[in-house]
Amino acid sequence: MQNETLTTLETRRSCRKFKPDMITDEELEAVIRAGTFAPSGKNQQSSIIIAVTNKEMRDQIAEENRKIGGWDEGFDPFYGAPVILIVIADRDANNGSGTYINDGSLVMGNLMNAAASIGLGSVWIHRARQEFESEFGKSILEKLGIKGNYEGIGHVALGYRLTPVPKALPRKENYVYYIR
């Protein structure tokens, strides 16, 4: 069985070379909207998406992420993507049961799959937790008026691909076990 959704899920690949061109507002809003429809524990919608299109702020976040990752000066951990979607989630959701990480991860997946479905490239970039534990990240939340016990889940670097979508590698053996 095959349909458009399954095809997108099977062909989405991470992008690590982006064109510098800004995506359209329509594309950005479509991707973000998909993220807001991710499943969440008890439908609490504990995640927040911070959309960064301002180049100066994007570059500051990239520099902070580079420092946390320990890369040499000049390295861009977002691979030139003009947009960063940062997902944070409320640690206190569902009475502090820890499902906020799952909720935020589902948002990340929806964002990346939506991007692929409309021809955009994306890649999940880590170190959001460390960013938002730092004074740098806390100042971003304060400027945005975001209050609460939030943890950074991840970044989606987003933009137009500079290179074609690579073919999928074969799926590993013993990926699925059935109990029938």
User: So where are the chain's domains?
Assistant: 23-159
Q: What is the CATH number of domain 23-159?
A: 3.40.109.10
Give per-residue pLDDT as tens, 11-62.
999 999 999 999 999 999 999 999 999 999 889 999 999 999 999 999 999 9
Q: Which two tokens stand for residue 15?
A: 């992008």
14: which DSSP letter? B
Whether pTM > 0.75 for this model: the answer is: yes
Round to whole Å and give the CA distance between 22 and 52. Answer: 11
The residue written with tokens 């998909």 in the block is: 34
Which among 121, 129, 144 is positioned nearest to 64, based on CA atoms? 129
Strand arrangement, sheet containing 150-159:
47-52, 83-90, 150-159, 121-125
